[in-house]
Amino acid sequence: MKIDVLTIFPEFFGQVFDFGIIRRAKLAGLVEVNVHDIREYATDKHKMTDDRPFGGGDGMVLKAEPIFLAIEHLLGTSDRSEYSESVRVVMLSPQGRPLKQQIAKEFAECAGHIVLICGRYEGIDERVNEMLVTDEISIGDYVLSGGEPAAVVLTDAIVRLLPEALGSQTSAENDSFSNGLLDCPHYTRPAEFRGMSVPEVLLNGNHAEIEKWRFEKALEKTKRIRPDLLIGENGEM
**5 part of the interface to ligand ADE, by CB under 6 A:** no
The answer to whether 51 is a known catalytic residue is no
Q: Which residues touch 119 (CB under 8 Å, ≥6 apart)?
A: 62, 91, 92, 93, 146, 147
DSSP, collapsed to helix, strand or coil, labels residue 76 as: coil
Tell me which stretch binds ligand ADE (CB under 6 A): 3-11, 139-147, 181-189, 196-204: 139-147
**7 part of the interface to ligand ADE, by CB under 6 A:** no
Of 139 and 218, the one with the shorter C-beta distance to ligand ADE is 139
Tell me which stretch binds ligand ADE (CB under 6 A): 20-28, 41-49, 71-79, 146-154: 146-154
Strand partners, 92: 118, 137
**182 part of the interface to ligand ADE, by CB under 6 A:** no
Residue ranges of E strands in the chain = 2-7, 32-37, 50-51, 61-62, 87-98, 113-118, 135-138, 192-193, 196-197
- What gap in Å lies between CA 41 and CA 6, rounded to an integer? 10
Among candidate residues 65, 136, 156, 175, the one labeled active-site is 175
The answer to whether 98 is a known catalytic residue is no
Q: How many CB atoms lie within 10 A of CB 49?
A: 21
**155 part of the interface to ligand ADE, by CB under 6 A:** no
The answer to whether 189 is a known catalytic residue is no
Contact residue for ligand ADE among 7, 49, 78, 93 (CB under 6 A): 93
Tell me which stretch binds ligand ADE (CB under 6 A): 8-16, 140-148, 184-192, 211-219: 140-148
CA dist list (Å): 154 to 65, 107, 145, 191: 25, 10, 16, 36
Restricting to residues 108-127, name those near ligand ADE by CB under 6 A.
Answer: 119, 121
Catalytic residues: 94, 122, 160, 175
